[in-house]
A = this chain, B = another copy of it.
């Protein structure tokens, strides 16, 4: 075991500080882990207690550890995000402190999934294995001879894929996007990360829909951004609220998810789209339009994207293959002014030297294949079936206890609980009953909401899963 060196020039308390810093940095003391009491550590190391008091004080001052009456001294939880200590506004990232307490929910859900126990998974926002085009991809890989250069490619992405994405967006989303305006990314997460890190600064205020996945992204915290919520009615967010936020908080960017919004399923009204665009143009605030679900429509089709209406380069459009093909693809795209594409591509070089040619090559073939049409039609049919099964089961089991609007597309059903219960207790009872879902407060809403993803569980699991949820809800009501 490590002991301080009494012969060294360095004071003993300082040696102890550095030893603990090292153990934290190497992950031996993960966030939240308990440190020994001052008395006990003094004994272990054979030093005076006052030396430990001094060492802990210094570690507390640098924000690495925290002490609370009753629970002792622990490694701080918020020190392990990306770039945590470099963001000067680290503690200023969320309005009203509704953010941090939610993250433990996501950790709890993830740990449950990793445990390998057989949960009905209404929590993971991704497609079930049988909804992904595995056959098409297997055939593409077997039949198309791979003959691409294997050197470092264009930092903005593999040229044939940029071209395929441009035609895909033109044909299916009515957008005029040139190859040069497309940055290939590893998915929406990387697109948003690049925007947050390169176009915004710590302390900047941004507007997001409320509720919204924005509240669940530690990435926004790590970038030190301050999130302000835009209320939504059944037609989406309102331009006036953006204007008001701009006046009060100088918001620097607006993040919108206009089609089958995550988690509410709301579709932003066509006339509101025009008004929002005009408003943001006037204020000079860029809009990030995140559109993962535009092609997962179930009933009818969504209106044209804001980017299709954008004449002034106000909109950065973000999309991906994750929700329409497979999340394991790790292929996404951003449509942006050429100068932004180049800047973000150069910045990404520092992170990963760009993307592998293999998924880009497969994605280009997939987007150009005749089977894409059939895949998307089959996906929509299958999502309709799952959504209907979920809605029926919820009505059957919990008619008087919950409420929801049927989503017209996307992967999620947003459900309100008539007499709200405590989110944490509900989730714990769900886990006990073998069902996973995401409590609404993860998305910044009040308690009493739940997001169900119907794309992930198997068709035959949906009914039983809802019954497990109903049991969990009743147990929670009964105070168990």
Interface size on A, residues (CB 8 A): 82
A 318-350 to B, binary, CB cutoff 8 A, 1 in contact else 0:
000000011111110000010110110011011
| A150 at interface, CB cutoff 8 A | yes
| A149 at interface, CB cutoff 8 A | yes
Docked Cα-Cα span, A82 to B339, in Å, equals: 16
The reply to whether B138 and A146 form a contact with Cβ atoms under 8 Å apart is yes
The reply to whether A328 and B153 form a contact with Cβ atoms under 8 Å apart is yes
Extra pairs beyond A134-B147, A329-B358, A358-B358 (12, CB < 8 Å)? A26-B313, A27-B342, A27-B343, A30-B339, A85-B202, A86-B197, A86-B201, A126-B152, A129-B151, A150-B329, A218-B350, A355-B356
Docked Cα-Cα span, A347 to B355, in Å, equals: 18
The reply to whether B86 and A347 form a contact with Cβ atoms under 8 Å apart is no
Docked Cα-Cα span, A331 to B186, in Å, equals: 14
- Point out the residues of chain B lying under 8 angstroms from A186, CB to CB: 352-353, 355-356
The reply to whether B197 and A337 form a contact with Cβ atoms under 8 Å apart is no
Pairs across A and B, CB under 8 Å, 17 listed: A25-B199, A26-B199, A27-B337, A27-B340, A30-B343, A124-B152, A129-B150, A138-B147, A142-B143, A153-B328, A187-B352, A187-B353, A189-B352, A189-B353, A217-B350, A219-B351, A358-B359
| A222 at interface, CB cutoff 8 A | yes
Task: Tell me which of B28, B137, B148 contacts A146 (CB under 8 A).
Answer: B137
Docked Cα-Cα span, A355 to B190, in Å, equals: 11
| A284 at interface, CB cutoff 8 A | yes
Task: Tell me which of B82, B134, B342 contacts A347 (CB under 8 A).
Answer: B82
- Point out the residues of chain B lying under 8 angstroms from A146, CB to CB: 134, 137-138, 141-142
